[in-house]
Structure 1
Amino acid sequence: MHTSSAMQACIDDCLRCYRICLDMASSHCLELGGEHAKPAHIQLMLACSEVCRSAAHLMLLGTPHHRHLCAECAEICEDCARDCERVGQMEDCVRACRDCAESCRKMAG
């Protein structure tokens, strides 16, 4: 299967966001506690991580259905970026989510 450079960039952005959100939710946020460890914040980060992994998976499979999941991924990534920005001290996550959202919007279009 051949992937375009834009699709490969999106796969890379999705996998980076997956890794960063999962890592920060399971370590950084739990260690900091407070707003960072509230269930709604952790659940959003884990949902973001999973949808990023799934979107990358569908693109790697080469199915046209990736467009639908990429649209949802962009929305969840934006929500996650806003929430991570709100709680603070999560710049890496905010940046990864916004980069992924931008790439996924291109793939969804």
Structure 2
Amino acid sequence: MHHHTDPAMKACIEECLRCYSVCLSTAMNHCLEMGGEHVEKKHFTLMMACAEICRTSAHFMLVDSPHHKHTCAECAEICTQCAEDCERLGNMEECVAACRSCAQSCRSMAH
């Protein structure tokens, strides 16, 4: 039996892909348009890192790699940081929600 037929993993893959998409498009559209704090290196790098680890975690689960536990653990950590930073800047509710939801899902997959 393949893991990705497991409903929890399937849900986590979907959360990761959604968060990847939301983080990347928010950074590229909203943040670049807003400028200022939104494009400061620390915040922008965090958003790019978050998008990439979400994509990587989804990939590891899709290929059924036993290493997905590690990528999911890291993903949960980065998503949590990203959610906090986006909340700090304000007016980024969609990104905050996607990151929180993904972090929760990844945390459960990491165990």
1:55 and 1:105 map into 2 onto residues whose CA distance is 12
Corresponding residue number in structure 1 for 2:8: 6
Cα offsets for 1:22-68 (capped at 9, x unmatched): 00111100101111111111100000000000000000001111001
Count of aligned residue pairs for this structure pair: 109
Corresponding residue number in structure 1 for 2:25: 23
* Cα root mean square deviation, aligned: 0.8
| Equivalent residue letter for 1:42 | F
- Structure 2 stretches of 5 or more lacking a match? none
Identical columns (%): 62
Corresponding residue number in structure 2 for 1:59: 61
2:51 and 2:36 map into 1 onto residues whose CA distance is 21
TM-score by length of 1: 0.97
1:62 and 1:49 map into 2 onto residues whose CA distance is 20
Give structure 1 regions of 4+ aligned residues with deviation exceeding 3 angstroms.
Answer: none
Corresponding residue number in structure 2 for 1:97: 99
TM-score by length of 2: 0.96
2:68 and 2:50 map into 1 onto residues whose CA distance is 16
